[in-house]
Copies of this chain bind each other. A is one copy, B any other.
Amino acid sequence: MPHRPIKRILIANRGEIAVRIIRACRELGITAVAVYSDVDRSALHVRRANQAVALGGATSGESYLNKTKLLEAARKARVDAVHPGYGFLSENADFAEAVEHAGFKFIGPPPSAIRTLGDKTEARKRARELGVPTVPGTVEPLVDAGQAFDVAGAVGYPVLLKAAAGGGGRGMRIVNSEDEMPSAFATAHSEALNAFGDGRLYLEKLIENPRHVEVQVLADSHGSVLHLGERECSVQRRHQKVVEESPSPIIDEAMRAQMGDAAVTLARSAGYVNAGTVEFIVDAKKNFYFLEVNTRLQVEHPVTELVTGIDLVAEQIRIAGGGRLEQRQAEIRQRGHAIECRVYAEDPANRFLPSTGTLERYVLPEGPRVRVDNGYRQGDMVNLYYDPLLAKVVTWGRTRKESIAAMKRSLAEFHIGGVRSTIPFCQFVLSHGRFLKGDYDTGFVAMYFAPEALYREGNRAQVAAAIMAARAKARMTGVAPGDDATFTTQRSREWKKNRHATLR
C-alpha cells in the first residue's frame, strides 16, 4: 500500500499530551492542527499548534469524544493523519477504523490489533495460548453477578472486578468477601458503562500488593517489533499511577529480557504496529503475570524516552507514515535512570479528590535534568470536564539517586497556587525510606501514606505566610506597617493612653 507522506496531523486530544504531540510535529516539520472545546479556547495546546479547529461544547462527549466532529475537523483541516494521544478515543477501534475509512492515517495500531489486544478478555486468552503467564480468573466476560460469585469462590477471595473495555482504574473494584460483591459488581458495571459504553466485567484472583511493571513496545509495518525496556509504576492511588520510573529497581537484565520477549511475542501475534505497552504484575517472588495491553501511547512514556534516547511520538508518526524502525533490539540501551511525577489537580490531603479553580500561581521547574510536559498556563481555569492531569515532571540522572535528587529539587520549584495538586504527595513519596530503597509495591500508598505526612512546612514558612497575610490585610484597610509603633515596646501601658487616638 503506497503511503501518502504525513505533512499535516490532527491532534484529537487536549492538555499536556496534545502539547507534547504538537512539539513532535513541529520538530518533524509537520503542521499540527489542534481541536478545542469551547472551554479550551485559549488552552495551551491551542496556542502551541499551527492551526486549530473548534469542536464546540464543553463536556468530553460534546468535543474530544465526539467522533463525528473530529472527523469533520480532520476533513476541514485537510490533514493526512490523526493522532489520538491517550485517553479519549485512543483505544477505540471504531474510531480508528472510521479515521482510516475517511482516508486519514490513524497514528496508532490497526483497528484489528486494538480489538484483539485492547479487549482484556481476548488479550488474556491469547496470552494463555502463547504461554505468557496470566493471573487465575475468568477468560470470558462475566454473564452476571451470579457467575461472579461462583468464579470468586473457586479462585478464592480477594478478587478483582475489571472492565473488559477500559483502563485507568475506571470500572475496577476489589472484592474482599461475598458480602461486598453485589454493590461492587453494580458500581463497577455502571462505571464501565458510563466511561466506555461497555459494562462487561471480568474477574481475577487479586494478587495482593503486586508491583506494576510494564514493557514499552514499538512495531513497524514491516514486521520489526522491539521492546524498549520496562517502567515501574507501582506508586498508585485509586489504581492510577502517580510516580513511575525506568529502569525498575527490581528488574535485572535476565528478567528484562524475559518480560520483553513476552511483550514482543504478544504484539507480534496480533499483528501489532506502532507504540503499545504490555502491562504485567509482579509478585513478591518476582513472578510476573500478564495484565493487559494498552494499545496507545502511555502517560508515562517520557521515562522510557529519557533512558533510551528514543522519541516515542516521533517514532509513532514515522511508523504511521510507513517508515521502518532504525534500531535492532541489541542496539536499544538504557542509559541512567528516569522518574516521572504526575501533577494532578487533586487534593492529596482529602482523598485525592479533584480540586478545581484558577491557577493563580503556576511556575514550572527549569534547568538541568528536568523535562516538563505541561498543558496549562498561569491564569488558566481547571474545570471538571476533563482529566485533572496538569503536567508531568520527568527527571534524569546517571543513577537512581541522582534522578531522585533532581526530582525533589524540581518539585520544590514547581509552585501551584489556587488549586491543590499531587506535588506534596509526590514529595512524600520521594522522601519515603521504602521508595528510596526501591522496596515498594502497589500497596505503598495504602500502607504508608497518611495526609498528616503532607504540608510539613517548617514553622518559619508559617511565620512568613502570617506576615504576608497580615501585610495584605493592612493594605486592604489602609494601615501602613508601623502605624501604631508606640505599641511595639510598651503595649499594655500605652494601650489605654492611645486608645482614643487609634480608634478610627
Chain A positions within 8 Å of B, measured between CB atoms, are: 19-20, 23-24, 26-29, 48, 302, 305, 309-311, 335-336, 364, 366-374, 398, 402, 405-406, 408-409, 412-413
Contact = CB atoms under 8 A, between A and B. Distances in A.
- Among A311, A336, A409, A413, which residue has the most Cβ atoms of chain B within 10 A? A409
Given A309-B335, A406-B27, A20 B413 contact: no
B26 A368 contact: no
A48 B413 contact: yes
A343 to B, nearest CB: 13
B364 A336 contact: no
Contacts of A374: 366-367
Given A26-B412, A368-B302, A409-B23, A336 B309 contact: yes
B367 A373 contact: yes
A366 B367 contact: no
A55 B98 CA distance: 67
16 contacts: A20-B368, A23-B367, A23-B409, A24-B368, A26-B408, A26-B409, A27-B369, A28-B405, A29-B405, A302-B368, A309-B336, A309-B398, A311-B368, A367-B372, A368-B373, A369-B371
Nearest to A391: B366
Contacts of A336: 309
3 closest A-B pairs by beta carbon, nearest first, are A27-B405, A26-B409, A23-B367
Given A27-B406, A367-B371, A368-B371, 19 more contacts: A23-B368, A23-B409, A24-B368, A26-B409, A27-B402, A27-B405, A27-B408, A27-B409, A29-B405, A305-B368, A309-B335, A309-B336, A309-B398, A310-B398, A366-B373, A367-B373, A367-B374, A369-B371, A370-B371
A49 to B, nearest CB: 12
A398 B312 CA distance: 13
A467 to B, nearest CB: 16
A408 B25 CA distance: 12
Nearest to A377: B363
Contacts of A27: 369, 402, 405-406, 408-409
Contacts of A409: 23, 26-27
Contacts of A19: 367
Nearest to A313: B368
A461 B172 CA distance: 50
A402 B402 CA distance: 26
Nearest to A406: B27
A436 to B, nearest CB: 13
Contacts of A366: 364, 372-374
A48 to B, nearest CB: 7
Nearest to A394: B368
Nearest to A403: B27
Most buried by B among A20, A371, A412: A371
Contacts of A311: 368-369, 402
Q: Which of A28, A309, A413 has the most CB of B within 10 A?
A: A309
Nearest to A405: B27
B367 A20 contact: yes
Nearest to A412: B26
A373 B405 CA distance: 18
Q: Which of A23, A364, A412 has the most CB of B within 10 A?
A: A23
A232 to B, nearest CB: 21
Contacts of A368: 20, 23-24, 302, 305, 311, 371, 373
Nearest to A363: B377
Instruction: Give the most central of A302, A310, A402: most B CB within 10 Å.
Output: A402
Contacts of A370: 371
A29 B412 CA distance: 13
A338 to B, nearest CB: 12
Contacts of A413: 48
Nearest to A395: B27
Contacts of A310: 398
Nearest to A336: B309
